Amino acid sequence: MPHSGNCLDLIGEEDKISNLHLLMAFNFIFNLAVNYAWHTAQLMCSTISSISNLRKPVFNATCAVSVFYAN
């Protein structure tokens, strides 16, 4: 490969392409990991929310009528 005159051009074109492929593969895997972590956190939050909703007493119109006639 002829010298281009650029002192910063220390690696060849093939190495640049290999580095680009490695960077793209890393970026893809990193995005998968972040996406998985995001969805796992969302699932955990919705599960915790569902569990906490089960503990709350339900008081609706039917309960109010039942309590009224019970007293």
3-state secondary structure the chain: CCCCCCCCCCCCHHHHHHHHHHHHHHHHHHHHHHHHHHHHHHHHHHHHHHHHHHHCCCCCHHHHHHHHHHC
> For the whole model, what pTM was predicted?
0.48
- Is residue 36, in this structure, part of any structural domain at all? yes
Domain that holds residue 58: 13-70
How sure is the predictor about 9, in pLDDT bands with cuts at 50, 70 and 90? Answer: low
Residue 35 vs residue 68, higher pLDDT: 35
Q: Which of 23, 24, 26 has the alpha carbon at shortest distance from 34?
A: 26
Question: How many domains does the structure of the chain reveal?
Answer: 1
- Is residue 5, in this structure, part of any structural domain at all? no
- Is residue 60, in this structure, part of any structural domain at all? yes
